[in-house]
Chains A and B, each alone.
Chain A
Amino acid sequence: MAATPRTREEQPPVDGGDPSVNVGKPGAEHGKSAARLGADLGLDDDALVGMYRMVALARAIDERMWILNRSGRIPFVISGQGHEGAQVGITWALRRAHDWIAPFYRSIATCLTFGMTARDMMTAQYATANDPSSGGRQMPGHYGHPSHNIVSVSSPVATQILHAVGIALAARIRGTDQVAMTFMGEGSSNQGDVHEGLNFAAIHHLPFVLVVENNGYAISVPATKELALPDVAARASGYGIPGVVVDGADVLACYRASKIAVERARRGEGPTLIEAKVTRLTGHSSDDQQTKYRAAEELTAERARDALPHFREQLRAVGILDDATVARIDAENRVIVDDATTYAEAQPDPDPATALDHVYAEGVEGTF
């Protein structure tokens, strides 16, 4: 499948850069020459292709989920379309199976990049007995995979920021050199837990990164009614930490921002808030009709902010991708998605006799 994300040891150090400024604005740093794309980030061509493959795979899985939903095979979908580029770029900077992530319900590409497989994602959609996220107990989109250090997602939003802060606290106390990264939408940024978490993480310089994927909407409520500021990242100054705005359609800019934040965290210099400006290409969920509150022109314009074609053209322009390679990746992803769908559909439902299991640890005293 996809290339393994580069570990910290494999990457050369980032050449400075003030993290409290905008990065990744169009035309800022990249694409200067074919030979050098990604070189300043320590990304070779294989890594770039691997990142592209991951963005495309996440999209392919996501699109399949909608087809399965609309054909009546699965009852619910909550999508990450429009977020994939930011998710892959940002997550790529972490060390898999060492660092921790606390994702949210749109974190399909994040979880794939951090180690979950297409089969893992699809069994969650079908809520099968062997779904690694929850064994079929949670709705689709509530990902988790402890063997990959992915914390289980719940439905109340922003609760996970505190879990990541606690993971970072434990990492510092235990001296594990781990970074905890958590992800949420801009709507969640208004919850009190975000303030409490950022404040505490900043006080204690915890190895913690908060990623806000700002797609402009909290279900139907537009950002103008969510925030009195243009950028969530501006709030970071209130906690004394860097706040970074990054173009979510620019995968390499997202990687750069994340790499700086992760290395800063690992050096013991404290948390960073990264706000990736992304787009939401679908409704909030399969139960939402976004044309009721978003104009057709807006939806068309938002398509232009899609990271998938942007990244593809960026790599094509410097000769890292060609038509044949793109076609091959698409074909490979199709096989992966077909396999995951067939596999998940064939897995058994959970046995109702197990529904009482795991309320408490095994061997507890007393009766309930």
Chain B
Amino acid sequence: MPVKTFIEAIREGLAEEMRRDPTTIVLGEDVGLKGGVFLATDGLHGEFGDDRVIDTPLTESMIVGASIGAAVNGLRPIAEIQFADFIFPAFNQILSEAARMRYRSNNALGVPMTIRAPYGGGVHGALYHSQSVEAFFTHIPGLKVVIPSTPYDAKGLLRSSIRNDDPVLFFEHKKMYRSVRGEVPDGEYTVPLGRAQVTRVGSRVTVVAYGLMAHYALEAADRAAEDGISVEVVDVRTLRPLDRETLLSSVRKTGKCLVVYEDNKFGGYGAEIAAIVAEEAFEFLDGPVTRVAGPDVPGVPYNHVLEDWFMVNPDKILAAIRTLAAY
């Protein structure tokens, strides 16, 4: 099976979906001739032309708002927000309009739109090129939020997102674009939304993670095994809808749950996971639901020492696993 980088899988997913469905368009800043600042859309303009690969002005609200209208009138827009950090000017369109259109029109109007945005730190992007923004969107009914961690999942989940009849936020950890490789089969396949995956089977501690953290969790689990601690890793993959069953069945088996996320700890997505586990698997727990997350500062600092201080890494996860296992 061919091995590809994370971004190659995304690029292929976009191109194949555009070939399959002529109603798909891509729009965003620099997505045309340049092919995106990370080259996620490289080659699409040459193949599909001006009408279907649209360079927009620096107008995030317009990119999303016009995508909503285009979706209402028969297209399937794939909007790129160049960095997740810059999605906030579009927040009103996503929250007030895209998320509510189906509900407020009593199911008469849907918004089949995918918004792709690179997120995450560890790339010397400092405060405004490193943010994890998923919690803002997982809070909103009507939106779906996807964060893949492997090239296989990225391509398969992207296909499912584009074909989905609801607005999907598709966040890609930019540190993984070229550092993560994996097998991606040729030909048609999809990964369904709303399914978590157990990426490592274990018995004593469940670690729940997504995106880059799903890789760090596996690395920490491997090292914990050297200490004789058997760790199960659940890669959430779709944050909303959340696959509660896979999550809860793992915790019911291990009795211990560690949630790992890169966002600021307070009020982050992992807090919801912790609450669900506490509510629905309390009698199976043999220790406190624990979180490892980013510190509560307004952004990831630029200086490499400060950035290292901010970032969750396998060492921090391993330390938390040991503490929880010993509880």
Contact = CB atoms under 8 A, between A and B. Distances in A.
A163 B97 contact: yes
A156 B95 CA distance: 11
B105 A368 contact: no
B60 to A, nearest CB: 9
A159 interface: yes
Given A162-B66, A364-B241, A365-B194, A167 B92 contact: no
Contacts of B61: 162, 192-193, 196
A134 interface: yes
A290 interface: no
Interface string B104-147: 11111110000000000000000000000000000001101000
B290 interface: no
Nearest to B192: A365
A173 interface: yes
Interface in B71-115: 71-75, 77, 89, 92-93, 96-97, 100-110
B142 A162 contact: no
B96 A166 contact: no
A166 B68 contact: yes
A304 interface: no
Interface string A122-151: 000000000111110110001010110001
Nearest to B97: A159
A171 interface: yes
A180 interface: yes
A367 B245 contact: yes
Contact of B104 (A147, A154, A367): A154
B243 A366 contact: yes
B66 A169 contact: yes
Nearest to B23: A174
B62 interface: yes
A144 B101 CA distance: 11
B62 A162 contact: yes
Contact of A138 (B89, B92, B104): B104
Contacts of A364: 164, 166, 193-194, 241
Contact of A357 (B25, B67, B107): B107
A166 B72 contact: yes
Contacts of A203: 57
A272 interface: no
A312 to B, nearest CB: 36
Contacts of B107: 357-358
A56 to B, nearest CB: 29
A182 to B, nearest CB: 9
A200 B165 contact: no
Contacts of A367: 194, 241-245
Given A100-B73, A203-B57, A163 B65 contact: yes
A321 interface: no
Given A156-B92, A162-B93, A357-B107, A199 B52 contact: no
Interface string B227-251: 0000000000010111111000000
A165 B92 CA distance: 17
A364 B238 CA distance: 13
A163 B72 contact: yes
Contacts of A142: 104
Given A365-B241, A367-B242, A164 B142 contact: no
B108 A159 contact: no
Interface in A337-368: 357-361, 364-368
A165 B104 CA distance: 20
Contact of B141 (A100, A168, A359): A359
A115 B59 CA distance: 34
A169 B23 CA distance: 12
A368 B62 contact: no
Contacts of B108: 132, 144, 146-147, 152
B67 A368 contact: no
A234 interface: no
A172 B25 CA distance: 13
B256 interface: no
Given A137-B104, A200-B56, A361-B164, 12 more contacts: A100-B73, A133-B105, A159-B96, A161-B65, A162-B62, A163-B97, A166-B73, A170-B71, A173-B51, A193-B61, A196-B59, A358-B102
11 contacts: A142-B104, A146-B105, A152-B108, A156-B92, A159-B93, A167-B72, A169-B66, A193-B65, A358-B102, A361-B110, A364-B166
Interface of B: 23, 25, 51-52, 56-57, 59, 61-62, 64-75, 77, 89, 92-93, 96-97, 100-110, 141-142, 144, 164-166, 192-195, 238, 240-245
User: Which 3 A/B pairs are nearest by Cβ-Cβ distance?
Assistant: A366-B194, A166-B69, A162-B65
